[in-house]
Amino acid sequence: YPIGTFRELFLTAKPISRIVIVGGGTAGWMAAAALSRVLAGPRGPSITLVESEAIGTVGVGEATIPQIIGFNKLLGLDENEFVRETHAAYKLGIEFVDWLRPGHSYIHPFGTYGLDMLGIEFHHFWLRGRELGDPTQLDAYSIAAAAGAAGKFFWPQSGNPKSPLSKLAYAFQFDASRYARFLRKRAEQQGVVRQEGKVIEVVQDADSGFVTGVRLEDKRVIEGELFLDCSGFRSLLLGQALEVPFEDWSKWLPCDRAVAVPCTLAGEHQPLTRSTARPAGWQWRIPLQHRIGNGHVFSSAHMDQDAATDLLLANLDGDPLAEPNHLRFTAGHRERLWDKNVIGIGLAGGFLEPLESTAIHLVQSSVARLLAYFPTAAFGGAEIDRFNSETAREYRDIRDFLVLHYKATERDDSEFWRYCRDLEPPEGLAEKIELFRSSGRVIREHEELFTEASWLAVMAGQGIEPQSYHPVAALFDDAETLQRLEHIRQVVAHAVSQMPTQDQFLAQQGSAIDASERLTR
């Protein structure tokens, strides 16, 4: 290309100088904190966040997955301060109770299982052990599952591959409103300007349809070049102004309501989220340092709101601390998460029920992707298409993982569970289930969010029985196979016995909250 072309391109591709974030929930403040950290500097864009106290936030969203550690690093957070300020507890995985059948439970742990041998994954040896009569569940080979069940916690030792603690990964369970406040403080320190006010109109360029500003109730117009729609389920810019259609996945994920209520603590807690299956959905239990978050996610076609609320209130470990908070949603996402100069982040872009605590991660990955494809004022179509295809694929991957929990069940004790058990799974999921069923093989597509260990945890936990295993797992003789399995179990159990309880760990780190802040009966 002649030099002139580059120069012209460069001159027309003006940098973005004003970013406007509409909404100050978890999504808005996560985006504000990350963008202001990365794009800071005299030549960086101004960042304005508009939010309305009168409208408020959804006020839920308290369990996370290990990727949040990377987000905290990007923000330069001190972990102990973060834990103390957000009243966080640690999370080593999710315990699924009654999902396969009433009375059964398993843990989807963070980290990996056992020890890979002879170049193949550990679980093939576990399957071989079962064939030889060893009935031990997978949980016994996961340090995160065993520590979680024992109420223990310690940081992973990833720099020491010989330590069983190198197999551990963790995340947090925190107070959603404290998290938003914590991020707000950092974002404002990094130069983000917060504007209080209710957006009553989205102003668009008459020719291009690009958004040029948002008008507030007091008539002020906040102008910008790039708009992040973090307005929650209302999707003010992407859904309402730009009318980007919603891709509805409720045929696969029929739960469309939730009722949430926090309650008092009851003694020491395991570093685990718990999900208990209910007749028309499931109930979450998220223990934090000062209280427990609870909620009941259900299908309104199979249970009414009063019955769902009663069921939740009848199954709390402590006294309720607030009135029940009722929420409505539809599984799916906007067909284009980025349209023109608007990007939908958080609930404004889409929603998948919190079964695997992925919504905060989706916010984080959208922000990371926005940074990767950060536009100029020319808004290149190729980058926008790429952003959209990657984000949609991430939503689809998570959807398939969630559907697995419902589809692979023996439950047939209610209309809801019969519907789930009989539903036609999305194509990719059907293939994954079939591969595991036929030969114990677990595949992870294109760096998808959930690893082989996660797929294994849920496929095995939900009772899918492989008919065979990798032939290499038969190369040890029977006695050696059983001996090796027992040795791995002992190593895991010994490592867990040496770990402090979660409460001891928090106290050692100086990240425990004051005893007076703990809400107990």
Active site residues: 91
Contact indicator for 102, 451 with CB cutoff of 8 Å: no
Contact indicator for 425, 406 with CB cutoff of 8 Å: no
Angle between helices 26-38 and 359-372 (to 10 degrees): 30
For the window 52-81, what string marks contact with ligand FAD as x by the rule CB under 6 A? x--xxxx-xxxxx-----------------
Contact indicator for 398, 363 with CB cutoff of 8 Å: no
Contact indicator for 295, 324 with CB cutoff of 8 Å: no
Closest CB to ligand FAD among residues 70, 510: 70
198 contacts ligand FAD (rule: CB under 6 A) = yes
Closest CB to ligand FAD among residues 202, 506: 202
Min separation Cβ 428 and ligand FAD, Å: 23
Closest CB to ligand FAD among residues 296, 470: 296
Q: Which stretch binds ligand FAD (CB under 6 A): 181-189, 237-245, 357-365, 502-510?
A: 357-365
Min separation Cβ 349 and ligand FAD, Å: 8
Min separation Cβ 518 and ligand FAD, Å: 21
Q: Which stretch binds ligand FAD (CB under 6 A): 118-126, 182-190, 218-226, 227-235?
A: 227-235
Three-state secondary structure along 4-16?
HHHHHHHHHCCEC
DSSP conformation letters of 415-467: HHHHHHHHS---HHHHHHHHHHHHH------TT-SS-HHHHHHHHHHTT---S
Beta bridge partners of 340: none
Q: Which stretch binds ligand FAD (CB under 6 A): 9-17, 21-29, 119-127, 508-516?
A: 21-29
Min separation Cβ 292 and ligand FAD, Å: 13
DSSP conformation letters of 359-399: HHHHHHHHHHHHHHT--BTT--HHHHHHHHHHHHHHHHHHH
CA geometry: angle at 207 spanning 205 and 208, to 5°?
70
195 contacts ligand FAD (rule: CB under 6 A) = no
Site for ligand FAD in 244-263 (CB under 6 A): 258, 260
SS3 471: helix
165 contacts ligand FAD (rule: CB under 6 A) = no
357 contacts ligand FAD (rule: CB under 6 A) = yes
Min separation Cβ 351 and ligand FAD, Å: 7
Min separation Cβ 488 and ligand FAD, Å: 32
Spell out a b/e string for 127-149, using b for 16 or more CB atoms within 10 Å of the CB, else e.
bbbbeeeeeeebbbbbbbbbbbb
Computed on alpha carbons and rounded to an integer, the radius of gyration of the chain in Å comes to 24
Q: Which of 19, 20, 21, 28 binds ligand FAD (CB under 6 A)?
A: 28
Instruction: Give the total residue count for the chain.
Output: 521
Q: Which of 239, 281, 354, 466 binds ligand FAD (CB under 6 A)?
A: 354
Binding site for ligand FAD (CB under 6 A): 23-28, 50-52, 55-58, 60-64, 176, 198-199, 230-232, 234, 236, 258, 260, 295, 327, 329, 346-348, 354, 357, 359-360
